[in-house]
Amino acid sequence: MTDDLFDEPDRGYGVRAGRYRFPAPPGVEEPSNGWMRATNLVSAFSDQKALQDWLERMTLLGLLAHDGTVFDELAALPDEKLTPETLKEFGQKARLAAGAEAGARRGTARHGVLEHYLDTGEIGGHRRMKLQMEQLLEEMERHELDFIPGWSERVVWHPIAGGVMGRLDVRVMCQRTGQVGILDLKTQRRFWTYQEVAGQQCLYDSAEWVWDGPEDERGRWVRYQVNPAMAQQFPSSFDDQNTLMGRPGGMCEGKRVAILAHMPSNGGPVQLHEVDLAYGAQVLSLAAQIVNLRSRGKSVVPGRGIGGLRPSYTPAILDA
Is the CB of residue 133 less than 8 Å from the CB of residue 147? no
pLDDT for 79 equals 87
With a cut of 50, say whether residue 317 has pLDDT above it. Answer: yes
Nearest C-alpha neighbor of 285 from the set 215, 218, 198: 198
pLDDT for 231 equals 47
Identify whether 163 is part of a domain. Answer: yes
Identify whether 120 is part of a domain. Answer: yes
pLDDT for 97 equals 83
N- to C-terminal Cα separation, the chain? 59
Alpha carbons 312 and 295: distance in angstroms, whole number:
27
Mean pLDDT (the chain, rounded): 85
Identify whether 153 is part of a domain. Answer: yes
Of 172-186, 207-221, 223-237, least confident by mean pLDDT is 223-237
The domain tally of the chain equals 1
pLDDT for 316 equals 57
Which tens digit of pLDDT belongs to each residue from 83-142? 988 888 888 888 888 776 766 677 778 888 888 988 898 998 888 889 999 999 999 999
Q: What is the residue range of 148's domain?
A: 101-296
Q: Return the percentage of the chain with pLDDT > 70, whole number.
A: 86
| Backbone torsion region of residue 10, taken as left when φ is above 0, otherwise alpha when ψ lies between -120 and 50, otherwise beta | beta
Identify whether 227 is part of a domain. Answer: yes
**What 8-state DSSP symbol labels residue 109?**
H
Identify whether 144 is part of a domain. Answer: yes
Instruction: Return the amino acid letter for 240.
Output: D
Identify whether 20 is part of a domain. Answer: no
Alpha carbons 195 and 57: distance in angstroms, whole number:
24
Identify whether 310 is part of a domain. Answer: no
**CB contact set of 132 (below 8 Å; sequence gap of 6+):** 110, 263, 267, 270
Sequential DSSP letters for 19-80: EE--PPPTT-PPPTT-BEEHHHHHTTTS--HHHHHHHHHHHHHHHHHHHHHHHHHHHTS-GG
Is the CB of residue 213 less than 8 Å from the CB of residue 220? yes
Identify whether 134 is part of a domain. Answer: yes
Is the CB of residue 243 less than 8 Å from the CB of residue 256? yes
Of 225-234, 260-269, 293-302, least confident by mean pLDDT is 225-234
Strand order in 154-158's β-sheet? 36-37, 164-168, 154-158, 209-212, 220-223
Which tens digit of pLDDT belongs to each residue from 34-70? 999 999 999 888 766 666 777 788 888 888 888 888 8
What is the domain-level CATH number for residue 135? 3.90.320
Alpha carbons 115 and 75: distance in angstroms, whole number:
44
Which ranges of 259-304 does DSSP label H, i.e. alpha helix? 277-298
